[in-house]
Amino acid sequence: MPAQFIMNLFIAFLWMLLTDEDELHLSTFFAGYLVGIVIVFLMQRFFKKQFYLQRFYYVLKLFFIFNSELFQSAFLVMRHILSPKIDIQPGIFTYKTALKSDWEVTTLSMLLTLTPGSVVMEVSPEGDTLYIHALDIERYKDFLLRSLGKFEKAIMEVTR
């Protein structure tokens, strides 16, 4: 992927040098960069790796999934806080993850901990099981499992 990016920068710089006659403009460099994206995308099969902007797309997708889950869980916790009677049943459950590397498991743990109503208490020594404390395990365990599945899928798209 670094080779694709360097080639794209080279195409953009070459485009800028060949197009601008009297002085160099950033807008011409940007236009060359867009032309370079198309050229590198068309030459993608020669690199034998995924297109380098595809990972950027997956990072943005993970960001939007996290924000969506954050707002949904914040709304659920806010509903508990504002209700006159606190009717929660906190609990701990385990979740076996399909993620392999330490970075992936840590990212999943942090994303889940940042969403209100859940905290990853511990990760097993093997790194494949998370111990999660939920604010209301009876009602929202399915919601948490769905969130975990979305996070896992998005993290795998970013890292693999």
Task: Provide the residue ranges of all domains of the chain, joining segments of one domain with +.
Answer: 2-47, 52-159
Please write the tens of the pLDDT for every residue from 68-106.
999 999 998 898 889 888 888 999 999 999 999 999 999
What pLDDT shows up at residue 150?
Answer: 96
What is the arrangement of strands in the sheet containing 129-134, beginning at the earlier edge strand? Answer: 91-96, 129-134, 118-123
Q: What share of the chain is helix, strand, coil (3-state, %, to 5)?
A: 65, 10, 20
Q: How many CB atoms lie within 10 A of CB 129?
A: 15
Taking the model in full, what pTM does it have? 0.81
